[in-house]
Amino acid sequence: MAFLPISKQDMEAQGIEQLDFVYIIGDAYVDHPSFGHAIISRVLQAHGYSVGIISQPDWKDESSITRLGRPKFGFLVSGGNMDSMVNHYFVSGRHRPTDAYTPGGKPYKRPDHATVVYGNLIRRVYKDSPVIIGGIEASLRRLAHYDYWSDSFKRSILLDSQADLISYGMGEKSIVEIADALASGIAVQDITFIPGTVYKTKDISGVYDGINLPSYDVMKEEPRRYAESFQIQYCNTDPFTGKTLIEAYPNGVYVVQNPPQPPLTMKEMDEVYDLPYMRTYHPSYEEAGGVPAIAEVKFSLVSNRGCFGGCNFCALTFHQGRTVQVRSHASILKEAELMIHDKDFKGYIHDVGGPTANFRQPSCQKQMTQGVCKNRQCLFPEPCPNLEADHSDYLSLLRKLRALPGVKKVFIRSGIRFDYLMADPDDTFFRELVEHHVSGQLKVAPEHISDTVLTLLGKPKKEVYERFVKKYNRLNEQLGKKQFLVPYLMSSHPGSTLKEAIELAEYLRDLGYMPEQVQDFYPTPSTVSTVMYYTGIDPRNGKKVYVCRNPHEKAMQRALIQYRNPNNYDLVREALVKGGREDLIGFEKNCLIRPRKMGKQKQPQQMGVPNHLQKTANQKHSQRVGKSERMQKADGGRVQRKDTGKKKTIRNVHKKK
């Protein structure tokens, strides 16, 4: 067992004269199944193809992608485990100071829009070599999309990167089919038949039973048409019912998306995770201090992928799909045994989960033969009558892991879907979750407590969360535990006005706690919420949605959630006055703040809002207002806040009084 080649010397040592594929990646090379590049390269290797890795090449130096020579079949390109723009920037537009996927955590080792930059770099050096792009960055930009960071409507990444194909989704099946087609002598331009791929063409006469989406030019002129297009795309993300989608561009070019690949069977999932990974970063990174991202996954276990939760701000539907796919207990236990024998293992398995930890089966059995419902969600707004809420398999797996020699504790740190938990009539899992699998605090994501906002978030009503909190506290009391909930909260999501923000502040007042950090809504490609943000329209029903873009109002909404912070006083007072809730300024028990003379108010620029976001957003949005018939006009800039990075822990918010 060895790392894949990263140099000519490695190729010679492994007896490789010419690689079949060269994989350009935006991350450091980590040969672990939690990293997409590791899975794809090991899958190809298992099918007889040689793969070499060029990690974080210098995009300003053309020779940086020539170190492994010209590949026999083509280049693979991925921007990294995270979208490169999310990896680089806080929602405010300020650059993050560290990069967990880079040796030593150093920033600036990959370009913005890395997949596009790498693709064009290859085209300049190897003009006729096939280029296949994949990973989350390419997957979520496979068709025309709104780009938050430039506040513009962009073409398919297939065109901007000058690539030949996109392998979207998780990609294990499609990448092997692409490799086999290339190895058989089929020209990359003729590979138009593989599920889970996107290609470009000037001739769509051979497309069978396709759906013509609004053209790029039409959507750029009329954002409402983009909302319509997105809803069609959203309804065609299932491999059983999805149709081929066609998007027209100028000069007779079409981008064609084939239906998704079928979900992996349990046997196929096991095969992927049983491949001979080195399970750590390449040793060449030791001098730099290693790769920080490995710490989160080294002693964690992936048990599932896919999610039927249907949160509107999440892109999982577009990337992994709604059908839950799982590994067998035997495969997971085998991986756990490998971890136990690691010299750094201290007896704690950090996580057993996936996108949603407590999803270990499809929401209903018909999904495996007929696909997911196009116009109905499994959990929202209420659990579907056909939903099978059953934690027995997950519970059995956790019990087996707890019983392994050398294991002291098995934690669950990926998200628990609390409404699914409450839908299970059997309390056994809930009780054992509290008794054995909480590391002092349990992460849950109510996101908000206003039913108006929750509806637009695709989350259950406030009442469901409150029932969950009561039950959680009751179980902790019965078991003699002092454990807390960590609720993630989001400000400024589409639909949230000052009224809803004040409602959330009152809820926190009644709890008696203030969140340490707050996450502003971050518009990322291919989510329902991002479409709302850009168009002012809910793509599910065509209705108008209020969207907060003014950086000062966003600062007020955020400050309300942290109303106890003295630095937020002026913003909170202004928000309460504007929201007609001056009754919350006073000395009574229900008041948020006490009256005093309002000090000098901070300006948006003082709150960390980048100049380029302030000066361009108002102009661009104003141009769109008439075309999309928005409910409101933007008052200026887009974002927003002092940078806090990712969602942070909110401690002891639901401590039982």
Task: Give the mean pLDDT of 27-56.
Answer: 98
CA angle at residue 449 from 446 to 450, to 5 degrees? 135
- In Å, how far from its chain's centre is CA 647? 13
Angle, helices 551-561/569-578, rounded to nearest 10 degrees = 110
CA angle at residue 444 from 27 to 100, to 5 degrees? 15
Query: What are 239-287's pLDDT values in tens digits?
Result: 999 999 999 999 999 999 999 999 999 999 999 999 999 999 999 999 9
pLDDT reading at 41 higher than 50: yes
Q: What is the 3-state secondary structure (H, E, C) of 23-51?
A: EEECCCCEECCCCHHHHHHHHHHHCCCCE
Helical H segments across 315-415, by residue range: 316-319, 329-340, 367-370, 392-402
Query: What are 281-303's pLDDT values in tens digits?
Result: 999 999 999 999 999 999 999 99
pLDDT reading at 513 higher than 60: yes
CA distance 571 to 601: 7
Q: Strand (E) positions, 232-355?
A: 244-249, 253-257, 280-281, 300-302, 304-305, 325-326, 348-349, 351-353
CB 115 within 8 A of CB 84: yes
The two tokens of residue 637 are 């800039």
- 282 residue type, one letter: H
**390 exposure class (CB count in 10 Å sphere: 0-12, 13-18, 19+):** middle
Task: Give the mean pLDDT of 13-32.
Answer: 98
Query: What are 329-378's pLDDT values in tens digits?
Result: 999 999 999 999 999 999 999 999 999 999 999 999 888 888 899 888 99
Split at pLDDT 50, 70, 90, the class of 590 is very high
Bridge partners (DSSP) of residue 326 are: 304
pLDDT reading at 533 higher than 50: yes
Nearest-10 Cα torsion for 46, 52, 57, 60: -120
Position of tokens 């879907």?
Answer: 417
Position of tokens 């236990």?
Answer: 333
- Residue (of 505, 483, 508) closest to 579 by Cα position: 505
How crowded is residue 520: how many other Cβ atoms within 10 Å of its Cβ? 21
pLDDT reading at 599 higher than 80: no
* pLDDT value at residue 489: 92
SS3 151: coil
CA distance 585 to 569: 11
Return the CATH number of 8-199, one of 3.30.450.20, 3.90.1150.10, 3.40.50.280, 3.30.2000.10. Answer: 3.40.50.280
- 244 residue type, one letter: T
Least confident of 514-528, 591-605, 609-623: 609-623
- With DSSP H G I counted as helix, E B as strand and the rest as coil, what are the percentages for the chain, rounded to 5? 35, 15, 50
Bridge partners (DSSP) of residue 519 are: 490
pLDDT reading at 415 higher than 90: no
* pLDDT value at residue 597: 64
Task: Give the mean pLDDT of 35-58.
Answer: 98
Q: What percent of the chain has pLDDT over 70?
A: 91
Which contiguous run of DSSP H or E holds residue 504?
helix 498-511
Least confident of 15-19, 28-32, 399-403, 561-565: 561-565
How crowded is residue 381: how many other Cβ atoms within 10 Å of its Cβ? 12
Task: Give the mean pLDDT of 570-596.
Answer: 95
pLDDT reading at 547 higher than 70: yes
The two tokens of residue 601 are 């108010």
400-423: b or e for each residue (b if 16 or more CB lie within 10 Å)? bbeeeeebeebbbbbbbbbbbbbb
pLDDT reading at 625 higher than 70: no
Contacts of 191 (CB under 8 A, 6+ apart): 164, 165, 178, 181, 182, 197, 199
CB 161 within 8 A of CB 106: no
Position of tokens 């469901």?
Answer: 464
SS3 255: strand
Domain positions in the chain are 8-199, 493-657
pLDDT reading at 429 higher than 90: yes
pTM of this prediction? 0.89
Nearest-10 Cα torsion for 106, 109, 115, 118: -160
* pLDDT value at residue 382: 92
Least confident of 9-13, 20-24, 478-482, 642-646: 642-646
**316 exposure class (CB count in 10 Å sphere: 0-12, 13-18, 19+):** buried
- 33 residue type, one letter: P
CA distance 144 to 481: 50
Task: Give the mean pLDDT of 469-493.
Answer: 94
CA of 183: how far to CAs of 127, 188, 237, 531, in Å? 19, 10, 29, 40
Task: Give the mean pLDDT of 407-431.
Answer: 95
Query: What are 115-133's pLDDT values in tens digits?
Result: 999 999 999 999 999 999 9
Q: What percent of the chain has pLDDT over 90?
A: 84
* pLDDT value at residue 366: 87
* pLDDT value at residue 647: 37
Task: Give the mean pLDDT of 521-526.
Answer: 96
CA of 563: how far to CAs of 230, 513, 555, 588, 600, in Å? 37, 10, 12, 15, 17
Task: Give the mean pLDDT of 190-213.
Answer: 96
* pLDDT value at residue 650: 36
Task: Give the mean pLDDT of 104-114.
Answer: 97
How crowded is residue 131: how many other Cβ atoms within 10 Å of its Cβ? 22
CA distance 192 to 181: 10
CB 494 within 8 A of CB 546: yes
CA distance 98 to 326: 33
CA distance 309 to 311: 6
Bridge partners (DSSP) of residue 281 are: 30
pLDDT reading at 654 higher than 80: no
CA angle at residue 636 from 632 to 640, to 5 degrees? 105
* pLDDT value at residue 619: 46
Tell me what the pLDDT averaged over the chain comes to: 90
Position of tokens 């409910």?
Answer: 631
- 611 residue type, one letter: N
Contacts of 380 (CB under 8 A, 6+ apart): 310, 458, 459, 460
- Residue (of 368, 227, 233, 398) closest to 306 by Cα position: 368
